[in-house]
Amino acid sequence: MVKINSQTTDSIFDRASDKAYAQLRKLIIALELEPGAVLVEGALVEQLGCGRTPLREAIQRLTEDDLVVALPRRAVSVADITVLALQQLYEARWELEPALGRLASDRITPDQLDALEQLLATRPLDASPSSYDLTEWDMAFHHAIARAAENRYLLMAFERLQGVAQRLLVFAYRRGAFVPPTLDEHREILAALRARDGERTGRRLGEHIRNAKDRILRTL
């Protein structure tokens, strides 16, 4: 009788579910699966090349990320994009990210500052409204500041909002939201971080988030 190493088996399933999660998350954020679309398990198993168990685990994680919602009779769909959801998301970001910025201004390392500088210098050349890469670049900037704050609980809160925030950016860019101010605002935030000015960093982040909300609202 062959003895199965449960730890090895678990790690295999973890990797499979992680891969399915990453693939499905990108499809949702990039709007390749549209808001309100019902997720068909059989079709997704074939599309993603995964088993049903990893797919179900991925869907559960995406439900916790507020990118997927449960429907009656065990069905699930991609979460809708609504004005109310946008309002609540940006209320949360407006409270959270300035606090992260103030902490980061004291704790960020020279290497992290240089990495942010490099990130701003490598903005995707494809700045079209449909550019998924542009939203990846945008959220990477915010995520780097959240990590530099060195507070695991605030970082967890930020990461909980990250996917929903990125999908809204894709939605806005595809509807013609003006992109250039984002780069200028990021540069102002970085300058405040380099100056180790916590109040200015928090203020600039708050203004940036308010401006992003206004740009998205104009597209709805």
Nearest Cα neighbor of 119 from 94, 136, 97, 96 is: 136
pLDDT in tens, 114-150: 999 999 998 876 555 457 888 899 999 999 999 999 9
- Give the whole-number percent of the chain exceeding pLDDT 70: 89
Q: Could you tell me if 96 and 53 lie in one domain?
A: no
Looking at residue 132, what is its pLDDT?
A: 85
Q: Is residue 190 pLDDT above 90, yes or no?
A: yes
Select from 78, 97, 112 the last residue of a domain: 78
The CATH number of whichever domain residue 135 belongs to comes to: 1.20.120.530
pLDDT in tens, 170-179: 888 887 765 6
Q: What is the mean pLDDT of residues 211-220?
A: 82
pLDDT interval class at 204 (50, 70, 90): very high
Q: 77 versus 5: which is more confidently predicted?
A: 77
Q: Could you tell me if 121 and 37 lie in one domain?
A: no
Select from 78, 100, 120 the last residue of a domain: 78
Looking at residue 126, what is its pLDDT?
A: 57
pLDDT interval class at 4 (50, 70, 90): very low
Looking at residue 133, what is its pLDDT?
A: 86
The range of the structural domain enclosing residue 56 comes to: 6-78
Q: Could you tell me if 66 and 91 lie in one domain?
A: no
pLDDT interval class at 16 (50, 70, 90): confident
Output the average pLDDT for the chain. Answer: 88
Q: Could you tell me if 74 and 87 lie in one domain?
A: no
Q: Is residue 2 pLDDT above 80, yes or no?
A: no
The CATH number of whichever domain residue 34 belongs to comes to: 1.10.10.10
pLDDT in tens, 40-67: 999 999 999 999 999 999 999 999 999 9
Per the domain annotation, does 116 fall within a domain? yes
Q: Could you tell me if 65 and 151 lie in one domain?
A: no
Q: 11 versus 180: which is more confidently predicted?
A: 180
Per the domain annotation, does 213 fall within a domain? yes
Per the domain annotation, does 1 fall within a domain? no
Q: Is residue 7 pLDDT above 60, yes or no?
A: no
Domain count, the chain: 2
CA-based radius of gyration for the chain: 19
CB 134 within 8 A of CB 124: yes
pLDDT in tens, 90-116: 999 999 999 999 999 999 999 999 999
Sequential DSSP letters for the chain: -PPP-HHHHHHHHHHHHHHHHHHHHHHHHTTSS-TTPBP-HHHHHHHHT--HHHHHHHHHHHHHTTSEEE-GGG-EEEPP--HHHHHHHHHHHHHHHHHHHHHHHHH--HHHHHHHHHHHHT--S---TT-HHHHHHHHHHHHHHHHHTT-HHHHHHHHHHHHHHHHHHHHHHHTT---HHHHHHHHHHHHHHHTT-HHHHHHHHHHHHHHHHHHHHTT-
Select from 25, 58, 78 the last residue of a domain: 78
